[in-house]
Amino acid sequence: MCVIIGEFVSSDQNETAIDLIYKTYELLKKMEQQVSELSLRHDELSKKIDVLDYSNKLLNNRFTKLQNSLSDSIADPGAKSVKNNEKETAKKTPPASFMAKAVYDTENSKPSRKVDKIILGNIKVFSYILNQKKEPVSGVEIDIYNESNELVKVRDTDEMGYVEFKLPPGNYKAEVRQKGFSPLNIEFSLTEGMKEFNLR
């Protein structure tokens, strides 16, 4: 028997109060976990929005060029476009994500990408590769190695700078390569219960 605010409280009432406190604590833990998950989703959505904004700019630029070209053709049907055969060497800008640490290396050669072992999994491992201007970087090679240093997955980023793998739980190493830059290695772990992992 215990006394609270000058009144006698039975042991059953005391147990009910403790049970209520425990349930409240568990509820707070779940809310904290949900807030953390929402924060991660917000970051992922922000990256996707950046990619969509850039794609929209590309489409608008192409539409403007086509519109100008059509206007020129109507104004002067006999005019011929002049092709410039000289190619300008574009400056290579390293991606702002994990590729930003890459060291410039024009002599970097592309190694063999033959998979040593085929594995299946349910955990989605994904990444968006953007440069410092938040533009997607396509053609970035990402190879995944297991703990035995066996090559198990091979992918290249698409036009949106996106790449995705499906892997089982375990420890892995990602080797990231882009023409003109030395390879970058990233180690990561996947555990039971994980649904997805953002490689960055």
29-70 confidence digits (pLDDT tens) = 888 888 778 877 777 777 778 777 777 777 777 777 777 767
User: Of all helices (H) and strands (E), which one includes residue 170?
Assistant: strand 170-177
Q: Which CATH class is domain 98-198?
A: mainly beta
Phi, psi of 197 (to 5 degrees): -145, 130
Nearest CA-CA partner of 125 in 149, 113, 142, 140: 142
Can you give the residue ranges of every domain in the chain? 2-75, 98-198
Cα separation of 180 and 177, whole Å? 9
Tokens of 64: 């403007």
Q: What is the pTM of this model?
A: 0.47
Q: How do residues 138-163 score in pLDDT, each as one tens digit? A: 999 999 999 999 999 999 999 999 99
